[in-house]
Amino acid sequence: MSVSKLFGALCAVTIMAAPALAQDYPARTMTMVIPFSAGGPTDTVARLLAERMSADLGQQIIVENVTGAGGTLGADRVAKAEADGYTMLLHHMGMATSATLYRTLPYDPLNDFEYVGEVVDVPMMITARKDFEPADMAGFIDYVKANAGNLTLANAGIGAVSQLCGMLLMHSLDAQLTTVPYKGTGPAMTDLLGGQVDILCDQTTNTTQQVQAGTIKAYAVTTPERLDLFPDLPTAIESGLPDMELSVWHGVYTPKGTPAEINERLAKALQVALADEGVVKQLAELGSAPVPAEKVTPAALKTKLETEIARWKPIIEAAGVYAD
Ligand code: MLT
């Protein structure tokens, strides 16, 4: 066979093989890696979505919690996984902030992943153990400023949004608290409930039920507007802390090299899950909501990550907080 005929035959095989891959996919159980502990806010969102995505894809999605180092160990696991469409990562905005917070990362957030789509936006809440003295946000600000040296602030490590929120809080109050790192705000919440730590800035997907049950105290939310779910709870901004605006965006990623048609198929499953009435209702009950459908695409998530890395870089550099 001549070289040109051989090349032609190889191309034909490749062209025939590509649709076959998409048609058969997925053919076995899949894994969604969550870079924080079970029972926490990222885990809650992931389990809600994995169930509905499984129904659309016709294959089970196992949620695996790969914890530690503020979410970077889980992200690294996926960066180094087979690019075959059977491993994905659900991570929040820590994917963007870690790029600056860590002087060295074992992966490149922008170039070691493919993109599936954005997921949900989740507000954050400043909370404390239920017997914390201040009655409201004004009292909280005065009390924390006066007693900073004796207070503890829980977080989920450098790269976690609880750490970022705590950092903004300490910066806004010009107060240095003792920080206590966990592998997720699931276990941090357990210690807040037990009174082992004083304060936790966490996502409403983890705080709402506890605040409603009266097992922790809420002082403010980090959104520009008050939440429908908690109309009496002030925003941190209206309480005089203008830098405390944080809404936690999330995205789903696959390892670099995962074929585009697979990422598109996963994006479709994600769109179906996020449009599900039950999912929307459960998210609303936790103070969250899916992003608009046009953001649940590979291109939209890529743009979001690029924009957010650029947005947080100068803020983190100005704060001078790094992990090595
Ligand atoms: C978690 O799921 O534990 C949180 O998202 C951790 C954090 O970023 O604060």
| Nearest CA, atom 6, ligand 1 | 184
pLDDT by residue, tens only, the chain of 324 residues: 444 444 444 444 444 444 445 678 999 999 999 999 999 999 999 999 999 999 999 999 999 999 999 999 999 999 999 999 999 999 999 999 999 999 899 999 999 999 999 999 999 999 999 999 999 999 999 999 999 999 999 999 989 999 999 999 999 999 999 999 999 999 999 999 999 999 999 999 999 999 999 999 999 999 999 999 999 999 999 999 998 999 999 999 999 999 999 999 999 999 999 999 999 999 999 999 999 999 999 999 999 999 999 999 998 888 776 665
- What's the confidence (pLDDT) of residue 97? 95
CB 203 within 8 A of CB 123: yes
- What's the confidence (pLDDT) of residue 318? 80
CB 87 within 8 A of CB 173: no
Domains in the chain, CATH or no CATH each: 3-121+249-319 (3.40.190.150), 123-221 (3.40.190.10)
CA 107 to chain centre: 18
DSSP 209-262: HHHHHTSEEEEEESSSS--TT-TTSPBTTTTT-TT---EEEEEEEEETT--HHH
Q: Which residues line ligand 1 (CB under 6 A)?
A: 36-37, 40-43, 92, 94, 156, 160-162, 184-186
Question: 33, 34, 36: which to mutate for ligand 1, most atoms within 8 A of CB?
Answer: 36
For 285, phi then psi, to 5°, come to: -65, -15
**Of ligand 1's atoms, which has the minimum distance to the CA of residue 188?**
3
For 95, phi then psi, to 5°, come to: -60, -35
| Nearest CA, atom 7, ligand 1 | 160
CB 70 within 8 A of CB 78: no
| Nearest CA, atom 2, ligand 1 | 42
CB 143 within 8 A of CB 189: no
- What's the confidence (pLDDT) of residue 315? 85
| Nearest CA, atom 3, ligand 1 | 184
- What's the confidence (pLDDT) of residue 19? 43
Q: How far is ligand 1, taken at its centre, from the CA of residue 183, in Å?
A: 8
